[in-house]
Amino acid sequence: MTPGSPYDGSHCFGRWEPSSFPDRSPGGSAHAASVAAMDLAELTTLRLGGPARAVIDATTEEHLVEAVRVADEAGDTVLVVAGGSNLVVADEGLDGTVVRVLTRGVTVDADACSGAMVTVAAGEPWDAFVARTVDEGWVGVEALSGIPGSTGATPIQNVGAYGQEVSQTIASVRAYDRYDRRIRTFAAADCGFGYRHSRFKAEPQRHVVLTVTFQLALGDLGAPVAYGELARTLGVEVGGRAPARAVRDTVLGLRRGKGMVLDADDHDTWSAGSFFTNPLLTPEQAAALPAGAPRFEQPDGSVKTSAAWLIDHAGFAKGHGNAHVSLSTKHTLALTNRGGASTAELLDLAREIRDGVQAAYGIRLVNEPVLVGCSL
């Protein structure tokens, strides 16, 4: 069989029955809790998605690997979900089983020369880990504060924000290789990192991330600030440094102002974060944009522009949509569930925006979240 497609921390595989997995007691080497059925809306930050036949909670690495192995051998459909922050699930849901990655653990090896080598289980909530790095004086991910989801998801998308990317501090990634049916460790140089890209995203059917090891400097000052808005708010020059705690607090404030910090009472945060990636253009395409369009030259010769700018200037203002789905009232890059929405309505809005930007500028936006059982 050919294993299925990827995740947020979320993979969709072939299908298996929960009963095919060996029963493990809490005192055994692995432990799982099974739920007969659950709407995937309960497991995603968009709060959208139909039912899954069953949900399995994988609290140990052993159980996670075995669940995937059994799924592959049985040719069954399984969706592996961690934080659910980068998923758009069809209204029809999944005729299969969801495996939730709930593994936990942080192992630290630190010295004054090499900094801190910190290995984090895939199921650890990302922002809780970032908060700990600031508390411990580990430097290098403080500008990635407030991003929802799991640590194991971060290398897949090469998660980045406010001038930092996880690839800048990842030393290695351990993953279960579903093709070779073995656990492998990839050094950072072998991860194929690029803008919102990695070898794990390039081969979405192959790997399940188990742990991520970060190499972080030690100190009170954050890494050099590489993002203009963040530098201005901190009162430093681009390339300057500020206390890591101030960087974290400032990033959280900026993200809250854009509806990008989860808040159950704020429908602007009922989203999958940035719905479209920032386009990478040829120099000729970039030159054809209006004079005021953002342009950021990349090391490979391409030019990055802002998806949010394109959306706004194509006529889609904050709040564009209807009573069920709309662009965030704080940020044009987030598509939000205003309550009572369906996935079909969200995708209709996404198509309207994508097609409108293409008509205005000849640039086709690409969705960032993983689509399960649906498409644009």
Q: How many CB atoms lie within 10 A of CB 210?
A: 21
Indicate the Cα dihedral angle 269, 160, 163, 300, nearest 10°. Answer: -140
DSSP H or E run through 228: helix 228-234
Query: Is residue 250 within 8 Å of 322, Cβ to Cβ?
Result: no
In the annotation, is 256 catalytic? Answer: no
Read out DSSP for 255-301?
HHHTT-S--TT-GGGSEEEESBPPPEE-HHHHHTS-TTS--EE-TTS
Whole-angstrom CA distances from 237 to 158, 241, 246, 347 are 26, 8, 15, 40
- What does the DSSP assignment read for 96-159? EEEEEE----EEEEEETTTEEEEEEETTSBHHHHHHHHHHHTEES-GGGTT--SBGGGHHHHT-
**What pLDDT score does 112 carry?**
62
196 counts as catalytic? yes
**Residue 317: per-residue pLDDT:** 97
pLDDT at 151: 97
* pLDDT of res. 356: 98
| Torsion angles phi and psi, residue 205, rounded to 5 | -90, -5
Q: Tell me whether strands 78-81 and 94-101 are parallel, antiparallel or unpaired.
A: parallel
Instruction: Please report the pLDDT score of residue 33 as a whole number.
Output: 53
Question: Can you give the pLDDT at residue 35?
Answer: 59
22 DSSP 8-state letter: P
Of the residues 196, 206, 248, 354, which is catalytic? 196
Q: How would you label 168-189 residue by residue, b for 16+ Cβ within 10 Å and e otherwise?
A: bbbbbbbbbebeeeeeeebebe
Any idea of the CA torsion for 127, 133, 136, 138, to the nearest 10 degrees?
-170
Which of 167, 172, 271, 274 is catalytic? The answer is 274
One-letter amino acid for residue 15 of the chain: R
Low-confidence ranges of the chain (pLDDT < 50): 1-31
d(CA 196, CA 305): 14
Give the three-state DSSP class for 184.
strand
Instruction: Give the global pTM.
Output: 0.83
Q: What is the pLDDT of residue 125?
A: 97
Q: In the annotation, is 345 catalytic?
A: no
